[in-house]
Amino acid sequence: MLQIDRWKRILIIGLCILGLGFAVPNLFYTRVESHNDAVAAIARTGVETPELAAARDGWPGWLPSSVVALGLDLRGGAHLLGEVRVAEVHKARMDALWPELRRALADERATLGAVRRLPSPEGTLKIEIEKPEGLTRATEIVRGFSNPVTTLTGAGQQSLAIQAQGNTLTIQLSDAEKAVTDDRTVQQSVEIIRRRVDEVGTREPTIVRQGADRILIQVPGIGSAEELKALIGTTAKLTFNSVVGTGTNPDARPGVGQVILPSAEQEGLYYTLEESPVVTGEELTDAVPSTDQNGLPSVDFRFNPSGARKFGAYTSANIGQPFAIVLDNKVISAPVIRQAITAGSGQISGSMDFDGANQLAILLRAGALPAKLDFLEERTIGPELGQDSIDAGRLSSVIATAAVVAYMIASYGLFGAFASVSVIANVILILSIMSVMGATLTLPGIAGIVLTVGTAVDANVIIYERIREELRAGKRVAKAISDGFDEAMSAIIDANVTSFIAAAVMFFLGSGPVKGFAVTLTIGLVTSVFTAIFLTRLMIIWWLEWRKPKELIL
């Protein structure tokens, strides 16, 4: 155990120096961070302003420039856990199916008789046909709308589940199709939330899917969870519908294929609209805040070619008629069409302030969420509190390390100093690995580092105590040290594996700060074993080779 090849020695020292190199940027946190931001900004925009160049030159480009990402509890920001109402999409799918189905069934009026939709739970479609003997034919027609679902497990399943009974058909999405749809809905939601958050331009937001239908959103630096909610909690579903009439009774019975929606501008005013929209927000290519001819805030938008064509055709056919601009089931405005709008652009104005116009433009650009989000968890941490925690964490780490070093040296003398070097190398290695991995440091994570300072010496202690025993048994110095390392090995490995099991459980079951703690702890375990059995040993070997001691007092 006392021979280490030269190349291994170089490797051990090299790793430590590399670790030091990668840990150094953390000492100049703000400077490195503005350097990174500036580099990213220049790469993105291609423009190099003097401020950006100054920020970039604040840190030499050839040095490592990754720093430990700070968790929300240290940096301040907002955290939201949202649940996507996936069932909304099921309902929308069924509602969209009905007009098509009605047309197809109406073509077979001779065999089926009159067809009508009966009230049924959301997400299902219940159809009654006049002649029960036509049910088989009706089922066939409906089946024509069903597609095979391709999934890993549900191969061969159809997208629609159809139940025929008496003279009614109950149609809903099959379980396989539901699973596929839900998956897509959540993925789309994640995508759209990411676009919206990116539009605001904050640094390093975390937007990840959690479980089947949840989305975790963490945005550092944002003022509050409420702000974030306003940005991502709005569905922003924009449609242009034709207006059938207006009224004051929200409970009036609309005709088939019509809906009654409230006005956003005027309390108590309700519009009756055709349910299927002329054009939707999906066909927008751009939206920017601006002002209308009266100087009031508005949003200018532009359609894509197909949207422009539909809108142009509709407006030229309906001059003099009002049409409604509907956002999230509220009629923002219902202007009268004065002339055909064929240029493919338009303006939304009314019932918004400048912030609102700005926000709406962002939302329209990013696209609508496929379904509404419910927020299950929200946290806002102020930046000052985070800074306090960083300061406290830094102070306590330094004091803890100093105290442990003092105690180790008092207990083991020179060997204690070796162990202390290892402990400090250990902290440096943890920081550098976290920087390179892009792992997030949280407040419990800092506690984890401090705890590691305490436990990292454990491996050294096991070895030293063993060496003491071997010495007491009368062995020569070199032999005692060699045996000490050998004998201590299995205890060190076993002891660390159990800690590792606990940390792994935390990582897989924990969230947020706890996960950060688990990551720090795990990295700390690996580095502490490395420093104890390689770095400490290397130092001891050097000392042995240099002093060739006849006796050792440990």
Considering only residues 103-132, where is the footprint of another protein by CB under 8 A?
none
Of the pair 241, 536, the CB lying nearest another protein is at: 536
Of the pair 352, 461, the CB lying nearest another protein is at: 461
Total chain residues near another protein (CB under 8 A): 80
Residues 205-224 that bind another protein (CB under 8 A): 224
Looking at 357, 368, 461, 481, which residue binds another protein (CB under 8 A)? Answer: 461
In the chain, the N- to C-terminal Cα span, in Å, equals 19
In whole angstroms, the minimum distance from the beta carbon of 340 to another protein comes to 43
In whole angstroms, the minimum distance from the beta carbon of 26 to another protein comes to 19
The candidate with the shortest Cα–Cα distance to 249, out of 276, 271, 275, is: 271
How would you class 274 by CB atoms within 10 Å of its CB: exposed for 0-12, middle for 13-18, buried for 19 or more?
middle
Residues 269-298 that bind another protein (CB under 8 A): none
Residues 397-456 that bind another protein (CB under 8 A): 399-401, 403-404, 407-408, 410-413, 443-444, 446-448, 450-451, 453-455
Of the pair 220, 512, the CB lying nearest another protein is at: 512
Provide the 3-class DSSP secondary structure of residue 253. coil
In whole angstroms, the minimum distance from the beta carbon of 549 to another protein comes to 13
Residues 35-94 that bind another protein (CB under 8 A): 73, 81, 83
Kindly give, in sequence order, each residue whose CB lies less than 8 Å from that of residue 500, ignoring residues fewer than 6 positions away. 522, 525
Q: Residue 545, Cα to own-chain centre: how many angstroms?
A: 54
Of the pair 117, 229, the CB lying nearest another protein is at: 229
The residues with which 279 forms a beta bridge, in sequence order, are: 240
Cβ atoms of 514 and 506 closer than 8 Å? yes
In whole angstroms, the minimum distance from the beta carbon of 498 to another protein comes to 4
Of the pair 305, 413, the CB lying nearest another protein is at: 413
In whole angstroms, the minimum distance from the beta carbon of 187 to another protein comes to 21
Burial per residue of 467-500, b for 16 or more beta-carbon CB atoms within 10 angstroms, e otherwise = bbebbeeebebeebbbbbbebbbeebeebbeebe
In whole angstroms, the minimum distance from the beta carbon of 366 to another protein comes to 21
Residue 406 backbone zone (phi > 0: left; psi -120 to 50: alpha; other: beta)? alpha
Cβ atoms of 466 and 417 closer than 8 Å? no
In whole angstroms, the minimum distance from the beta carbon of 12 to another protein comes to 23
Residues 367-396 that bind another protein (CB under 8 A): 374-382, 384-385, 388-389, 392-393, 395-396
Of the pair 69, 228, the CB lying nearest another protein is at: 228
In whole angstroms, the minimum distance from the beta carbon of 529 to another protein comes to 12
Of the pair 432, 460, the CB lying nearest another protein is at: 460
Q: Which two tokens stand for residue 12?
A: 């051990």
Q: State which amino acid sits at residue 533.
A: I
Residues 161-200 that bind another protein (CB under 8 A): none
Kindly give, in sequence order, each residue whose CB lies less than 8 Å from that of residue 515, ignoring residues fewer than 6 positions away. 506, 507
Q: How far apart are CA 396 and CA 406, in angstroms?
A: 15
The maximal CA–CA distance of the chain, rounded, in angstroms, is 111
Quick note: the x/- pattern for another protein over 227-266, rule CB under 8 A, is --x-------------------------------------
Kindly state whether residue 524 participates in binding another protein, applying the rule CB under 8 A.
Answer: no
Of the pair 4, 514, the CB lying nearest another protein is at: 514
Q: How far apart are CA 430 and CA 527, in angstroms?
A: 7
In whole angstroms, the minimum distance from the beta carbon of 530 to another protein comes to 17
Locus of tokens 């430990």 = 68
